[in-house]
């Protein structure tokens, strides 16, 4: 009797809070109260899939500051990583990072341990497997929305012990190396917004105060919303509106005058005036800002926002170049993990007697 070969998989050895499966989002259902979810940093997510050779919108693992540790089962799996400056190691050997790139590709051999932890900056990192993560879809999407229990792995965050089945790409030619992705070098000092749709609920002086800031991401920040610390804004004609639809990046100002930027897991409608909306290309720039990060807003026109979106699309349309990873720093942990001895030689046996 022939045995059925084991299916390739990623085994989760440990996972911090907030690690989920995300695709491009569950679109077309907002009118029914179903939030799209999707990646917090759409550009980093798209870069990871591009580097993995996957189709746009493929399911990837979104990794929070809690990090993740995983291994491959049954066969080697090629993966791509992109996003914040996370600390990444493979079998306890730290992989080098460079300011010139923010993505990498590598292969996880069965039993090898890939560890991804919070590093110097950034709040989200994306791991895309070359191939397909085999997960049941809900309303045509794998995007996880934990508050409603939709998508992903039983509608919840990934946790220790999960086994994610994979259909590897048989045409993948990924090599171990770094990918130059300058479009992911996005300092958060300035976040561009289009004013409105309810900016008329604020005086010119209050809009100026909103743009001047400065603002900081508060400790109250998650996939649903980023609360901001800074000057308190006042309304010119009340703080209640007839509830309307919420786009990712909409900035509500409730009665206490504290702006709230609504993110990927936002509610479908809201009843507070929205002073502005973060433009699409800057959603990831803000999402990657950790609590305490200072920034200010800059108002741009719709035409400028569209131009920024086209520039982003052009960056993703370029051919990616994979460069070998070159180590420039050698920690004691790295050196101790290497076998620096290659055989033993008896010097007496090599003495030549005249």
For 218-237, write each residue's pLDDT tens digit: 999 999 999 999 999 999 98
d(CA 211, CA 299): 7
Q: What pLDDT is attached to residue 90?
A: 95
Q: Of 331, 305, 265, 202, nearest to 30 (Cα)?
A: 265
> Directed axis angle between helix 302-316 and helix 42-52, to 10°?
20
Largest CA distance in the chain: 104
Pick the range with the lowest mean pLDDT from 99-113, 262-276, 295-309.
Answer: 99-113
What is the percent of the chain where pLDDT is above 90?
77
Give tens-digit pLDDT for 294-330: 999 999 999 999 999 999 999 999 877 777 665 444 4
Average pLDDT, the chain: 89
Kindly compute the dihedral angle of the four CA atoms of residues 146, 152, 153, 155, in this order, to the nearest 10 degrees.
30
The span from the CA of 21 to the CA of 86, in Å, is 18
Given a cut of 70, whether residue 267 has pLDDT beyond it is yes
pLDDT digits (tens, 9 = 90+) for 124-165: 999 999 999 999 999 999 999 999 999 999 999 999 999 999
**Residue 132 forms beta bridges with which residues?**
167
pLDDT of residue 3: 58
Average pLDDT of span 208-226: 97
Backbone angles phi, psi at 131, to 5 degrees: 135, -135
Q: pTM for the complete prediction? A: 0.89
Q: Which domains does the chain have, with CATH numbers?
A: 9-185+324-332 (no CATH), 190-315 (2.40.100.10)
pLDDT of residue 176: 81
Q: Decide if pLDDT at 331 tops 70.
A: no
Q: Which residue has the higher pLDDT, 182 or 296?
A: 296
Residue 349 in this model has a pLDDT that exceeds 60: no
Please give the average per-residue pLDDT across 202-221, as a whole number. Answer: 97
Quickly state the pLDDT bin for 332 (edges 50, 70, 90): low
Q: Confidence band (pLDDT; 50, 70, 90) for 102?
A: low
- Residue 205 token pair: 């002086």
User: Given a cut of 80, is residue 344 above it in pLDDT?
Assistant: no
Instruction: Identify the pLDDT of residue 318.
Output: 82
Mean pLDDT of 231-250: 94
Whether 41 shows a pLDDT value over 60: the answer reads yes
């Amino acid at each position: 009797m022939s045995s059925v070969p084991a299916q390739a998989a990623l085994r989760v050895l440990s996972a911090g809070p907030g690690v989920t499966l995300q695709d491009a989002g569950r679109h077309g259902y907002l009118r029914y109260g179903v939030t799209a979810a999707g990646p917090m940093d759409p550009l980093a997510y798209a870069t990871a899939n591009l580097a993995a050779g996957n189709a746009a919108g493929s399911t990837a693992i979104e990794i929070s500051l809690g990090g993740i540790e995983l291994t491959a089962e049954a066969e080697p799996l090629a993966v791509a990583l992109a996003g914040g400056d996370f600390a990444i190691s493979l079998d306890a050997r730290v992989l080098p990072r460079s300011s010139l790139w923010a993505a990498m590709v590598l292969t996880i051999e069965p039993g090898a341990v890939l560890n991804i932890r919070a590093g110097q900056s950034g709040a989200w990192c994306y791991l895309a497997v070359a191939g397909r993560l085999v997960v049941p879809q809900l309303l045509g999407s794998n995007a996880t929305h934990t508050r409603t229990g939709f998508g992903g792995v039983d509608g919840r965050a990934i946790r220790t012990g999960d086994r994610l089945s994979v259909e590897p790409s048989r045409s993948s030619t990924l090599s171990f190396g770094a990918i130059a992705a300058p479009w992911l070098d996005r300092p958060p000092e300035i976040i561009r917004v289009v004013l409105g749709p309810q900016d008329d609920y604020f005086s010119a002086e209050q809009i100026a105060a909103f743009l001047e800031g400065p603002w900081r991401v508060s400790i109250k920040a998650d996939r649903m919303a980023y609360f901001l610390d800074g000057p308190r804004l006042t309304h010119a004609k009340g703080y209640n509106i007839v509830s309307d639809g919420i786009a990712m990046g909409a900035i509500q100002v409730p009665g206490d005058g504290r702006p709230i930027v609504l993110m990927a897991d936002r509610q479908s409608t809201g009843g507070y005036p929205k002073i502005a909306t973060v433009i699409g290309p800057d959603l990831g720039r803000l999402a990657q800002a950790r609590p305490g990060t200072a920034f200010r807003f800059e108002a741009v026109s719709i035409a400028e926002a569209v131009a920024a979106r086209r520039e982003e699309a052009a960056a993703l349309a370029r051919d990616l170049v994979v460069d070998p990873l070159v180590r420039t720093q050698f920690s004691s942990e790295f050196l101790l993990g290497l076998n620096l001895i290659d055989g033993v030689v008896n010097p007496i046996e090599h003495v030549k007697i005249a």
